[in-house]
């Protein structure tokens, strides 16, 4: 058990190696307090998506000393997920860039799939949802501004609406931790603003812990209080988003910093001697 009740997530010395390739994660350790808003930053291939998938048990970590603890209970350790991983996943909502909705099904049905982990398998497969469960899904859609679209096919929604439907699915699930993998990468600026503000409201009004993978540094600074930066699968910075000046990012990522959309980033003063420092890079395996 994790000794601190305020810790939502603890990652200890986690590595992940895919067959026939170099390590995607290399000895990564961090902890996230309940109710935090954390931006996960890194250029392509830095390991962001792999990390998010390990945090919910969709990827198993390497057979070494690594461990992931979720709300005080081990989720996986030494290359094996916990026996109660299905129950643990109920606490974790996942939002992907591609929305992962079934286009031919009504929006309401897509949102109701968030209940799958708590239902008997036959009910989940057959889509047998009670009136109370449907009311929960409708409430979640109303909260996302999608009540009027509940009975439309998901494929008729705009990209921003589909992403809000995906977030509604996590509300129905009752998730305490939301992992969002580039949730606004394919959205227009107005949809991006609305989705990010909805995520903020989940954090501020419901206390949901957020870990959001982003390419846009301006969004990280605007909506998150902390940034965890990855490079080549290793953690290279963990601190305040106020440190993300263009000069600091160029120091951190070199030419790859251009991927991180610095166009509207405010030029903040460089940190002084007491400011953040790069975490020493772990040598590649």
Distance CA 187, CA 97 (A): 9
Q: Which residues contact 229 (CB under 8 A, 6 or more apart)?
A: 41, 42, 235, 236, 237, 238, 252
Tell me the range of 68-72, 94-98, 110-114 where mean pLDDT is highest: 68-72
- Please list the helix, strand and coil fractions of the chain in percent, rounded to the nearest 5, in that order: 40, 25, 40
Domains along the chain with CATH numbers: 1-91+180-285 (3.40.50.300), 96-175 (no CATH)
Per-residue pLDDT at 34: 96
Mean pLDDT of 174-183: 93
Mean pLDDT of all residues in 204-224: 93
> Which pLDDT value is given to residue 237?
95
Q: CA 36, 144, 187 angle in degrees (round to 5)?
A: 80
Tokens 């040598």: give the residue. 283
pLDDT of residue 276: 36
Summarize pLDDT for 131-149 with one digit per residue, the tens. Answer: 999 999 999 999 999 999 9
- Both tokens assigned to 15: 């590595």
Task: Kindly report the number of other CB atoms within 10 A of residue 151's CB atom.
Answer: 10
Question: Higher pLDDT residue, 185 or 8?
Answer: 8
pLDDT reported for residue 274:
34
- Could you write out the DSSP letters of every residue in 74-97? EEEETTEE-TTHHHHHTTEEEEET
């Amino acid at each position: 058990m994790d000794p601190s009740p305020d810790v939502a997530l603890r990652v200890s010395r986690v590595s992940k190696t895919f067959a026939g390739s170099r390590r995607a994660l290399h000895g990564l350790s961090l902890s996230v307090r309940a109710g935090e808003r954390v931006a996960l930053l890194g250029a392509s291939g830095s390991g962001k998506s792999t990390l998010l998938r390990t945090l919910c048990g969709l990827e198993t970590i390497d057979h070494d000393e690594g461990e992931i603890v979720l709300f005080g209970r081990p989720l996986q350790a030494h290359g094996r997920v916990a026996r109660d991983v299905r129950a643990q996943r109920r606490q974790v909502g996942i939002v992907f860039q591609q929305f992962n909705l079934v286009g031919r099904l009504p929006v309401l049905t897509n949102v109701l799939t968030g209940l799958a982990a708590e239902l008997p398998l036959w009910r989940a497969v057959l889509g047998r949802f009670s009136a109370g469960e449907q009311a929960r899904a409708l409430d979640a859609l109303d909260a996302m501004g999608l009540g009027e679209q509940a009975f439309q096919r998901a494929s008729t929604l705009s990209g921003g609406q589909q992403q809000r439907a995906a977030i509604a699915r996590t509300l129905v699930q009752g998730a305490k931790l939301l992992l969002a993998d580039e949730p606004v990468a394919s959205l227009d600026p107005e949809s991006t603003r609305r989705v990010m503000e909805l995520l903020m409201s989940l954090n501020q009004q419901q206390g949901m812990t957020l870990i959001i993978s982003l390419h846009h540094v301006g969004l990280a600074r605007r909506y998150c209080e902390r940034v965890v930066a990855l490079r080549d699968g290793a953690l290279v910075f963990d601190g305040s988003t106020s440190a993300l000046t263009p000069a600091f990012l160029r120091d951190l990522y070199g030419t790859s910093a251009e991927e991180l959309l610095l166009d509207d980033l405010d030029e903040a003063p460089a940190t002084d001697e007491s400011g953040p420092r790069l975490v020493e890079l772990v040598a590649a395996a």
